[in-house]
Amino acid sequence: MLLAQAAGAGLSRGFNRVLEAVVRIDVREIEFADGAKRFSGGIGSGVIISEDGLILTNAHVVSPQAVEVSVTLANLERVGAVLVGWDHWTDLALLRLDTVALKARGLTFAAASFGDSAELYAGQTVYAVGTPHGLTRTVTRGIISNNDRYFEDSGGVNGYETGAFNTWLQTDAAINPGNSGGPLVTEDGKVIGINSRAYIGAENLGFAIPANVARRVAAALVKDGAITRSYIGLVPGVLQDLERFYALASNTGMLINRVDPGSPAAKAGLRAGDVLLTLDGRKVDGRFPEQLPPIQQAIASLPVGAKAALEVKRGAQTVAFTVQTEKLESRVGEEWAFEKWGLSVRKVTRAFARENQLLDASGVIVLGAQPGYPAAESGLARGDIITKVGSEPITELAKLKNVYEAYEAKPEPQLVEAQRNRRISLYVIKP
């Protein structure tokens, strides 16, 4: 009884500090679905991590499409904030509080400090703090269920890819929608993770980005506003149980399940079924799924445009390849709406083109066509890829913007060429 009280007292000191640093985030963001420009609102959580007002939250809470970010401090005062940078791959975003407004209104706040997420063990007590379902300043308690959980989700952050470069903390502390971006903390109030997702419908299966990943990403976002990663086009598979087939020593190699067509690895001659043995001379061990993110991270952290030496086992042979990295891109490109046409679009990216076996990355994808507006009336529909208007090839989004401007100045029927499953169709957008 006495012991429990002593522990409780210790907990409350560290805890009060971290509670002062947790904020509620209200976001208004622009959406380009259904052929129109629309605004939607959302609620998330965040944690202040520096004396100059930097806030860590999730990339799926605040994205570059946010037009208004309002932060509710621990003292329930509201202040504006701006996006410093985001990284959907780790589901992290960094905000900065409006310090001018803070000063003018004489408001203060506390900053939380990080713990070492590598020291966590399964069974350790942790607390999640945040705004589940809009319930400001909610604390839930649980344990670390697993400190090295692997999952990758190709559309996990509002359609953006996530999870390839880090493992996650799993906890049974209740995490609900709105907890996103809030901290997972230890009993002494150290932030050891950023709560990010949960299995909806399951009981207490929540996931957080480890603090050690969050610290590194936050530092890079402060510096550059974005994280640049390298890409070579390998999709890994686990080697588990296949070592004997490939005649490999145990704990060696990563299976290549797919090579993206047209990627640097494909150009260099790598093939699905090859086993990656070394990367720039360092041994690779991808026996289990949990071991894949560090390998992916090693590839991603190569400088863009650098030449990487890959040693690969193919059949009985060991073959050396040199692969020149390129910049990693998301499958999701820039979005826009042409309101008089009732048409919203997204730029085709190299990643999207490779995934969908398109010949190149030119064109824009139709996200939506509003019923009754010229685009929908012409027959254009979600999923069509617009490649040409009149005689103008739409290689970039800017080209379509130019065509649209000309149309606004002088509305005339436009002949639109679009593809779907590589089938080319023609449409006429009429005023």
Partner 1 sequence: MRIFRRPFLCAFLLAVAAAAAPLPELFNDRLKSVVAVEFFVQAEIERQPVTVMGTVVDTQGTIILPSAAILPGIPPAQLKDFKVYRPGSTESFNAAYLGQDPFTGWHFLRVEERLRSSLVPITQYPAITGDPALSDELWGIGLRNRDEDFTPYFLSSRVATVMKLPQKTAILGAEVASPGLPVFNAAGQFAGLAQTSFGQNFLIFSRNQHGNPILLINVEESSVVLLADEVLPNLGRVPQSVTGRPIAWFGAYGLQPMDPEVAKLLKLENQSGVVLSDIMDGSPAAQAGLRERDIVFAVDGQPLPRLKPDRVVVGYFGQQILKHRPGDTLALAILRGTERQEIKVKLGDEPKLAREADRHYLERLGFTVREFLYGDGIMHRAMTTEQKGVMVQFVKPGSAVATAGLRPDDWVKDIDGEEIKTYAQALAKLSAIEADVKRPEMVLLVSRGGETAVLRIKLI
- Which residues belong to the active site? 60, 91, 180
Residue 100 is given by DSSP the state: H
- 310-332 CB burial, b ≥16 within 10 A, e <16: bbbbbeeeeeebebbbeebbbbb
**Cβ neighbours of residue 317 closer than 8 Å, sequence gap 6 or more:** none
Q: Could you list the beta-strand ranges (E) of 325-376.
A: 326-327, 335-338, 343-347, 364-369
Of the candidates 14, 262, 273, 294, which one interacts with partner 1 according to CB under 8 A? 273
Is there a contact between 310 and 182 (Cβ–Cβ < 8 Å)?
Answer: no
| 270 touches partner 1 (CB under 8 A) | no
| 417 touches partner 1 (CB under 8 A) | yes
**Residue 430 beta carbon to partner 1: minimum distance, rounded to whole angstroms:** 7
**Residue 414 beta carbon to partner 1: minimum distance, rounded to whole angstroms:** 9
Interacting span for partner 1 (CB under 8 A) from 112-120, 164-172, 217-225, 236-244: 236-244
**Residue 389 beta carbon to partner 1: minimum distance, rounded to whole angstroms:** 12
> Residue 165: CA atoms inside 13 Å, Cβ hemisphere, count?
24
Choose among 256, 246, 260, 230: nearest CA to 318: 246
Choose among 48, 14, 1: nearest CA to 125: 14
Is there a contact between 11 and 188 (Cβ–Cβ < 8 Å)?
Answer: yes
Q: Which is nearer to partner 1, 207 or 427 (CB)?
A: 427
Of the candidates 215, 379, 381, 382, which one interacts with partner 1 according to CB under 8 A? 379
Q: Which is nearer to partner 1, 8 or 315 (CB)?
A: 315
β-pair partners for 424: 419
Q: What counts of helices (H) and strands (E) characterise the chain?
A: 8, 29
Among positions 301-320, residues that touch partner 1 (CB under 8 A) are 314-315
Count of other CB atoms within 10 angstroms of residue 374: 23
- Identify the H or E element spanning 329: none
Interacting span for partner 1 (CB under 8 A) from 136-144, 182-190, 220-228, 254-262: 254-262
Among positions 318-357, residues that touch partner 1 (CB under 8 A) are 355-357
| 242 touches partner 1 (CB under 8 A) | yes
Of the candidates 245, 282, 372, 410, which one interacts with partner 1 according to CB under 8 A? 245
Q: Coil, strand, or helix at residue 293?
A: helix
**Pairwise CA distance, residues 317 & 320, whole Å:** 10
Interacting span for partner 1 (CB under 8 A) from 96-104, 237-245, 278-286, 319-327: 237-245
| 235 touches partner 1 (CB under 8 A) | yes
Q: Which is nearer to partner 1, 172 or 329 (CB)?
A: 329
**Residue 259 beta carbon to partner 1: minimum distance, rounded to whole angstroms:** 8
- 211-231 CB burial, b ≥16 within 10 A, e <16: bbbbbebbebbeeeeebebbb
Token pair, residue 124, equals 């350790």
**Residue 174 beta carbon to partner 1: minimum distance, rounded to whole angstroms:** 30
The residue with tokens 């193919």 is: 314
| 250 touches partner 1 (CB under 8 A) | no
Interacting span for partner 1 (CB under 8 A) from 104-112, 115-123, 132-140, 242-250: 242-250
Which residue ranges make up the site for partner 1 (CB under 8 A)?
235, 237, 241-242, 245-246, 255, 257-259, 261, 272-273, 314-315, 355-357, 378-379, 391, 413, 415, 417, 419, 421-428, 430
